Structure 1
């Protein structure tokens, strides 16, 4: 029923457009059907809005962060992927505002990872290239309205890249009571439960291809890299697979995660101090105990 109602609202809107624009009905019939459809849409929207508010409040009461709770609430109206995109937009802007106004503070359980990010270099590049692009728009495009469209798109893209980099800064890895929350800004996130971690190793690795973000290398089943600047600094092995939340849904199952962190030694020490699955003898720096 939930899935049916989720798709019924956009379906009714499409039917309304077809009936009104297609001209297949008389004016009286079209008006009557449109009124009936509008009434149905209003009833369905009201019912879905109530469910969405209840779902948001339930998520917040359960300790879920506001953005995840909002995404869950929007799934009442939209498929999960669309809901995630709708929430990401204001979240990026919120990260940008926090970064610009310095309204964030990394506590002892926060572990930044953004140093050396390719996005930082990319921002410097586009700061120089964007004015050139805007000048070319003015010189090469004869239509004023189209120049304005490209100008708005260029500025929006610039701001969005700044917002994405800001999310790397203000959303660090975080050691929580139930495990380690691992993130790459607003794009990728997962929580590795403490009782699943069976091995930690401080080890710098170069990511195949030198890429940044969440990488699944060919030929390495269950292995993933969450890299910054094409490198990782910490290797975490888990007893049961974990998955990242990505833009399009859950990632592949991961048994070994190679993770980037600004201070991998501090993160490793903090993890070892709190891990119930590692014996006291295995908590020396750089040791990776057997599963």
Structure 2
């Protein structure tokens, strides 16, 4: 059986199973079907077709892996590129929350110095989270039906977790400084790796614009909501990959200067001077 045939069968059974399950649930909720009838439909149709979806899905994974597809590509093929990206992002957010609770910083270790870049960037998201929590509490009080109150509460809390996790993702993935170079990050995404002999100057400098990640005239901006506060000047241009939520939309560029936002630009300069930069009396 070819991969195309397996894919078509898998998609058809999946769509049919979801449609029947949603229709069955809706009819049961509005009283068109009795609970006993809905259960018989579930046992007689949804359960067997669900098993078929799993079997065909496993067969499809086997075909894809035999063709040399990586696991990330397998997930993209099974559920689609956009849903797969959302699933990976949600899993990463839970992982970031766990690391944040434990106080762990990804990549930190002996001989490695971290540079944070989240100070001052969390006020708006945190205010939004507080407003969402208040809204959840108000809805929970005002909705008269108990089953609906708890359903909305579970859905609301579940929807907040990935957002909190995305904020945590930036905290637990700081920039990294080591004797073998500097790694610039934006959350879990690595933007650039700079060799120690390629970093010429480190200059604390306040720029209020731009406030969006992007490149301009061989300069890469990694700003916070108030712009940037540290400039890095390179001896030779390096390849960078601009961060984007969808991996397939990340684009490459060649830059010789970075303008970034860090928690403490003066402290960051001292670290970079001590670890990477050779003494320079002209600075």
TM-score range, shorter chain: 0.5 to 0.7
In structure 2, do the counterparts of structure 1 residues 203 and 45 end up closer, same or farther at CA, with 3 Å as the change threshold? same
Deviation for aligned residue 1:131: 3.9
Partner Cα distance (2:181, 2:14) in 1: 50
Q: CA RMSD in A?
A: 4.2
Deviation for aligned residue 1:138: 3.4
Aligned to 1:15: 12
Maintained 8 Å contact 2:139/2:149:
yes
Q: Secondary structure at the match of 2:276?
A: helix
Q: Secondary structure at the match of 1:118?
A: coil
In structure 2, do the counterparts of structure 1 residues 40 and 147 end up closer, same or farther at CA, with 3 Å as the change threshold? closer
Aligned to 1:251: 251
In structure 2, do the counterparts of structure 1 residues 115 and 45 end up closer, same or farther at CA, with 3 Å as the change threshold? closer
Deviation for aligned residue 1:42: 4.5
Partner Cα distance (2:138, 2:53) in 1: 48
In structure 2, do the counterparts of structure 1 residues 84 and 196 end up closer, same or farther at CA, with 3 Å as the change threshold? farther
Partner Cα distance (2:148, 2:251) in 1: 39
Bigger mean CA deviation after superposition, 163-172 or 198-207 = 198-207
1:127-160, CA deviations, whole angstroms, 9 ceiling, x for partnerless residues?
Answer: 5423420233235556655544432343234333
Q: TM-score, normalised by structure 2?
A: 0.64
Aligned to 2:101: 100
In structure 2, do the counterparts of structure 1 residues 40 and 230 end up closer, same or farther at CA, with 3 Å as the change threshold? same
Aligned to 1:226: 222
Deviation for aligned residue 1:285: 7.1
Deviation for aligned residue 1:8: 6.1
Q: Secondary structure at the match of 1:183?
A: strand
Partner Cα distance (1:10, 1:233) in 2: 50
- Unaligned stretches of 5+ in structure 1? 23-33, 56-69, 274-279
Maintained 8 Å contact 1:233/1:264:
no
Deviation for aligned residue 1:45: 2.4
- Unaligned stretches of 5+ in structure 2? 21-48
Maintained 8 Å contact 1:109/1:175:
yes
